[in-house]
Amino acid sequence: MDTAIISHHKNFIIGSGPAGYSAAIYASRAGLNPILFEGMQPGGQLTITNDVENYPGYPDGVMGPSMMEDFKKQASRMGADIRFGLVTQVDFSVRPFKLWVDGDQLYTSDSVIIATGASAKWLGIPSEQKLNGSGVSACAVCDGFFYRNQEVAIVGGGDTAAEEATYLAKICKKVYMIVRRDQLRASKAMQDRVMNTPNIEVLWNQETDEILGEHAVEGVRLKNTVTGETSEIQVTGFFVAIGHKPNTDIFQGILNLDETGYIQTIPGTTKTNIPGVFACGDAQDKVYRQAVTAAGTGCMAALDAERWLVSEGL
């Protein structure tokens, strides 16, 4: 028996965060009456970000979760129907498009905006999974408090790792930053911040061979990427900050994705290879990946969707 359609919409937004909520604000103001399902992480990656200092309009900075709550409230005030739920399957082969939420709830929509963002990557070693939640974390802001005045390690050399290392340095006795190469990939500003923080020690040309500890993190065994020699450091917390993977698995074989899974859009637009389906935020941006650019593409997606609906007489 076919699943009964719960409701039909002019515009359906998959995912929240700066991109999804911004799309909802603009789509609501355009009279599209959008419905938005927030996904597994309502508010997106900014809900695990502490101080946001570079978003315009917040001269004194703002906490990531607080800013996302502001975005959500504004979208709701404009009339967006924001619900908790995860889109688990889509059918873009016919119009109206079909979308399943939480497995068995079927909705249809004339247009779709994808704002599913990205998720943290893991190293993939057994001890990482074994000790996840017992000293291993991918969110310094979430879990750093538990390691106050202790020694911790963080792996990664980009902006995320540098930002989280400086955050941890404020509350931890010492922070070891494990870097595979002989230089950081982080921006110059973030590199300067790391180098000027006395209790951060950068361990160059090192990779994580194993996280040590039976029931909780007790240390890390490192392997030198040049000589192959191993060494150990004693820490009670281990944080992973090696990048993100776009949350686009459900679009495999449906939308054009690049080799790493980012949705490919027509340059200068948010249009995908399927007319009526648009993508914004970190699901399609692997270059900038900032809150302000995500919000900008969310605006673009809503405007693109509105114009497309008009052109189709919908």
**What CATH number should be reported for the domain holding residue 203?**
3.50.50.60
Choose the weakest-confidence range: 29-33, 34-38, 104-108, 284-288. Answer: 284-288
Instruction: Supply 16's token pair.
Output: 């929240």
Once rounded to an integer, what is the mean pLDDT over residues 154-168? 94
pLDDT surpassing 80 at residue 54: yes
Q: For residue 139, indicate whether it is catalytic.
A: yes
pLDDT surpassing 80 at residue 20: yes
Q: Are residues 203 and 126 in the same domain?
A: yes
Q: How far apart are CA 78 and CA 30, in angstroms?
A: 10
Contacts of 220 (CB under 8 A, 6+ apart): 153, 176, 178, 208, 210, 211, 212, 232, 233, 235, 238
Which of 110, 143, 159, 304 is the catalytic position? 143
Q: Are residues 205 and 266 in the same domain?
A: no
pLDDT top residue among 118 and 173:
173
pLDDT surpassing 80 at residue 300: yes
Q: For residue 142, indicate whether it is catalytic.
A: yes
Q: How far apart are CA 231 and CA 220, in angstroms?
A: 8
How high is the pLDDT of residue 165?
97
**How does residue 1 score in pLDDT terms, banded at 50, 70 and 90?**
very low
Once rounded to an integer, what is the mean pLDDT over residues 35-59? 86
**High-pLDDT (> 70) share of the chain, %:** 98
Instruction: Supply 261's token pair.
Output: 């899974």
Instruction: Supply 53's token pair.
Output: 């200092």
Choose the weakest-confidence range: 16-25, 56-65, 209-218. Answer: 56-65
pLDDT surpassing 90 at residue 6: yes
Domain boundary among 196, 223, 240: 240
Q: Are residues 26 and 113 in the same domain?
A: yes
Element (H, E) at 300: helix 291-311
As a whole number, the mean pLDDT across the chain is 94
**3-state DSSP helix/strand/coil percent for the chain, to nearest 5?**
30, 30, 40
**How does residue 50 score in pLDDT terms, banded at 50, 70 and 90?**
low
How high is the pLDDT of residue 141?
75
Cis peptide leading into 34, omega within 30 of 0?
no
Name the CA dihedral angle for 106, 112, 115, 119, rounded to a multiple of 10 degrees. Answer: 50
Once rounded to an integer, what is the mean pLDDT over residues 236-256? 94
Nearest to 283 by CA among 87, 124, 110: 87
Domains: count for the chain: 2
Q: Are residues 20 and 169 in the same domain?
A: no
Domain boundary among 240, 263, 294: 240
Q: How far apart are CA 53 and CA 8, in angstroms?
A: 40
- Give me the phi and psi of 271, to 5 degrees please: -75, 135
Once rounded to an integer, what is the mean pLDDT over residues 38-45? 88
Contact 118, 45 (CB under 8 A): yes
How high is the pLDDT of residue 143?
82
83 - beta bridge partners? 37
Give SS3 for 301: helix
How high is the pLDDT of residue 3?
80
Domain boundary among 240, 259, 278: 240
How high is the pLDDT of residue 269?
98
Q: Are residues 216 and 256 in the same domain?
A: no
Which of 51, 70, 139, 209 is the catalytic position? 139
Q: Are residues 234 and 271 in the same domain?
A: no
Q: Are residues 109 and 206 in the same domain?
A: no
68-95: pLDDT as tens digits: 999 999 999 999 999 999 999 999 999 9
178-203: pLDDT as tens digits: 999 999 999 999 999 999 999 999 99
Q: For residue 299, indicate whether it is catalytic.
A: no
- Give me the phi and psi of 96, to 5 degrees please: -70, 155
How high is the pLDDT of residue 29?
97
Q: Are residues 142 and 186 in the same domain?
A: yes
Q: How far apart are CA 191 and CA 196, in angstroms?
A: 9
pLDDT surpassing 80 at residue 96: yes
Q: Are residues 253 and 235 in the same domain?
A: no
Q: Are residues 88 and 77 in the same domain?
A: yes
Instruction: Provide the 10 A C-beta neighbour count for residue 91.
Output: 13
- Residue 198: C-alpha distances to residues 139, 172, 214, 219 (Å): 22, 12, 31, 21
Q: Are residues 231 and 135 in the same domain?
A: yes
Nearest to 146 by CA among 164, 168, 163, 162: 168
How high is the pLDDT of residue 254?
98
Which of 51, 70, 142, 209 is the catalytic position? 142
What residue numbers bound the domain in which 59 lies? 5-119+244-311
Nearest to 47 by CA among 21, 29, 83, 26: 21
Q: Are residues 208 and 268 in the same domain?
A: no
How high is the pLDDT of residue 2?
63
